[in-house]
Amino acid sequence: MSERCYITTPIYYVNDRPHIGHTYTTVLADVMARHRRMMGEEVYFLTGTDEHGQKIEKAAAARGITPKALADEVVPNFETMWKRMEITNDHFVRTTHAAHKAVVQAKFLELLASGDIFKATYKGLYSVSDEAYVTETQAKEMQAQGLAHQLVELEEESYFFRLSAYENWLIQLYEKYPEFVQPEFRLNEVKQFVAPGGALGNLQDLSISRTSITWGIPVPGDEKHVVYVWFDALLNYLSACREGFWPPTFQLVGKDILRFHAIYWPAFLMAMHRQDGDDLQGELPARIRELLPRTILAHGWWLMGEDKMSKSKGNVVRPDQLLKFGNDAVRFFFMREMTVGLDRSFSFEGFMDRLNADLANGLGNLASRTLSMLIRYREGRVPVPATLDAMDLEILETGRLAASAYLEKAAANDFHGALEGLWTYLRQLDGYIVKAEPWKLAKDEGAQAKLDTVLCLLYRALRATAVLLAPVMPAMAQTLWKGLGQSGAVADQRFAGLDYDAPAPGPVAAPEPLFQRIDKETVMTELDAASAAAAPAAPAAELPLDVPPLREVVDYDTFAKTDLRVGLVLTAEAVPKSKKLIKMTVDIGFETRTILGGIATGYTPEELVGRKVVVVANLAPRALMGIESHGMLLAASDNNSKPYLVAPPADARPGFIVK
């Protein structure tokens, strides 16, 4: 049986739409999952949303809706974005799922019965942003960071987890099994938190329930308490695990939530798997280590300049802004630029420079030149080299070593290093072409054997590159694979079966562009214009509305024939050659429809995805711009015919009848 691999992302808090941080983590997990599948492993890949807690309760109350309605409104933003980006997660968990609630309550009762959970009264400082009580040292750190306003003093009855009892086992976990937290310097941060300067006795018991809020999973048998959000959230990895895949192989987290995953989470699991006779002050049983996550992989932040991105600073980059360059371009940039564990500054100029240099001018140009020469000089047939001189042997051996080094680094989740090494080799291939001068060899009857060798070695390098890059750039790798005359899906290849010197199965195809060069100046002008348009404008005097006259009166029976339904926009795209039409895929509960709306003067396609609308569902289909539209969206309009979509309540679901 093939080895199994369980990969998780953090579950994302439903207080915001997806941003570059969420997107990077999810893409990294997806690249890892795809790579492991090509290693021959059976992969289970989990992501989802964290929906309970005080911040959600307050945000919902401020809008006059229920917390569940707020979560239901935000969650589709994540689900839709991951589908749009072709993320290959096997399951999407929500902490409001009944199955998750059942596991949390069952584990709470188990630990209550074992004595690892107990009830007491707590008084201390509470961080509203982290939804956690903080120690005096943590409070001083927050005050030094200008975050004192996020601290409040609370006193309440609470259930506690005996975190302090597991300090000895945690220290042994970090010392004996350093792979538990990667990279290494992040492990050192965790050690310093548990035992600063090597001093034990620092860990305090952890409050894991609240009476001051109601939005959460009730403590069974004592329902004035709800389960603390971190005990609730962390158990998603257990509640949503597919049978046979425990424990997690890789758990991806941002550095800001490492403490919860590297301290609280293993301690919870230790308590759940502890047996009578286990000595908490003795050796950590190997049996328990085997039931803990293998590796918590902590990555850094994407920064704007030197600052962390935040909504309050207005410097958040959204995936929609990047996806105009294509899914594969975004995936490549993330993996090429970010060293896992370190922070990385983002700029749109740097983003475009990287894509132009490595994809348009680099791989794209190399593939186009190679395929064109094979077609021009050998009618698409890939020759077999008869002789290899010193330069040929060097480029061949370097290619084999580059492929091996790439796989070694990627298996260790160092995709930055893997891609850096591969692109160093691709640049060597450009130099090889310059030195070999195949265009001159083609004109020399006595140099045809040498030309065969050059063309074959270039082909082999590109074939290996297509296989290696499939997890990072699946669509681009497939285009290259097909262009090389290979059949089937490149993602179905296995690294173990990669034969660098295998003969070509058939003729190559005419080259398709792998990546179009970006006109950076034009794009930056567009971005600047969009930024200026998004800036708050000075309030203008409200123009009087020219109210149109009432249409003819209809009786109730006539009106009642109109079937209005709540819909959810799943996808949206501009209709070519039309200034007004947007093509949408809309879920109306009982089916999914294609609907065209003349609303492009008021909305971009990106703004529509995940939006709830009201659909006239029983209109006969009609063709617009050669596309059949089945339905119409309800919208108001002003004097300039700008559309204003009618929005159903946040907790209305697709298919609801609008009366």
Same domain, 567 and 490: no
pLDDT at 42: 98
Query: Which residues, in sequence order, are bridge partners of residue 125?
Result: 153
Lowest-confidence segment of 120-134, 234-248, 335-349, 428-442 by average pLDDT: 120-134
Look up tokens 């490595």; give the residue: 358
Same domain, 466 and 385: yes
Same domain, 477 and 612: no
Q: Could you list the residue range(s) of the whole structural domain that residue 411 is in?
A: 348-497
High-pLDDT (> 70) share of the chain, %: 93
Buried b (16+ CB within 10 A) or exposed e, 459-491: bbbbbbbbbbbbbbbbebbbbbbbbbbbeeebb
| CA atoms of 317 and 348, how far apart (whole Å) | 10
Same domain, 466 and 567: no
pTM score above 0.85: no
Report yes or no on 452 lying in a domain: yes
229 pLDDT tier (thresholds 50, 70, 90): confident
pLDDT at 527: 81
pLDDT at 539: 40
Residue 217 has pLDDT above 80, yes or no: yes
Report yes or no on 487 lying in a domain: yes
Same domain, 380 and 491: yes
Q: CB atoms < 10 A from the CB of 580, how many?
A: 15
Q: Are strands 91-94 and 206-207 parallel, antiparallel or unpaired?
A: unpaired
**Residue of 526, 344, 377, 497 lying closest to 449 (CA atoms):** 377
540 pLDDT tier (thresholds 50, 70, 90): very low
Structure tokens, 221: 């048998």
Residue 477 has pLDDT above 80, yes or no: yes
**Residue of 584, 586, 594 lying closest to 567 (CA atoms):** 586
Choose the final residue of a domain: 470, 497, 524. Answer: 497
Report yes or no on 322 lying in a domain: no
Burial of 366 (0-12, 13-18, 19+ CB in 10 A): buried
Residue 625 has pLDDT above 90, yes or no: no
What is the radius of gyration, based on Cα positions, of the chain?
29
| CA atoms of 30 and 37, how far apart (whole Å) | 11
Choose the final residue of a domain: 497, 530, 547. Answer: 497
Query: What distance lies between CA 168 and its chain's CA centroid?
Result: 35
| CA atoms of 53 and 267, how far apart (whole Å) | 22
Same domain, 451 and 569: no
Find the mean pLDDT for residues 50-65: 92
Same domain, 560 and 491: no
Choose the final residue of a domain: 480, 497, 514. Answer: 497
More confident residue, 125 or 299: 299
Same domain, 439 and 568: no
**Number of domains forming the structure of the chain:** 2
pLDDT at 506: 85
Report yes or no on 406 lying in a domain: yes
Residue 604 has pLDDT above 70, yes or no: yes
Same domain, 493 and 584: no
Look up tokens 């439903």; give the residue: 14
Find the mean pLDDT for residues 490-509: 94
Same domain, 562 and 636: yes
pLDDT at 538: 41
Report yes or no on 656 lying in a domain: no
| CA atoms of 348 and 543, how far apart (whole Å) | 38
Residue 581 has pLDDT above 60, yes or no: yes
Residue 410 has pLDDT above 50, yes or no: yes
Buried b (16+ CB within 10 A) or exposed e, 368-389: bbbbebbbebbebbbbebeebe
Report yes or no on 318 lying in a domain: no
**Residue of 302, 300, 336 lying closest to 317 (CA atoms):** 302
pLDDT at 547: 56
For residue 562, the domain's CATH number is 2.40.50.140
Report yes or no on 271 lying in a domain: no
**Residue of 641, 653, 573 lying closest to 613 (CA atoms):** 653
Per-residue pLDDT tens over the stretch 350-395? 999 999 999 999 999 999 999 999 999 999 999 999 889 999 999 9
Sequence-ordered strand ranges (E) for 221-314? 226-227, 250-254, 295-299, 302-304, 307-308
Q: Is the peptide bond before 438 cis (omega within 30 degrees of 0)?
A: no
Same domain, 379 and 481: yes
| CA atoms of 205 and 118, how far apart (whole Å) | 10
Lowest-confidence segment of 31-45, 396-410, 515-529 by average pLDDT: 515-529
pLDDT at 638: 62
What 3-state DSSP class applies to 122?
A: strand
Residue pair 572/583 in contact by the 8 Å Cβ criterion: yes
173 pLDDT tier (thresholds 50, 70, 90): very high
pLDDT at 541: 39
Report yes or no on 463 lying in a domain: yes
Same domain, 364 and 467: yes
∠ Cα 160 165 171 (to 5°)? 125
For residue 469, the domain's CATH number is 1.10.730.10
Query: What distance lies between CA 583 and its chain's CA centroid?
Result: 26
Q: CB atoms < 10 A from the CB of 349, how many?
A: 11
Residue 548 has pLDDT above 60, yes or no: no
Per-residue pLDDT tens over the stretch 251-280? 999 999 999 999 999 999 999 999 999 999
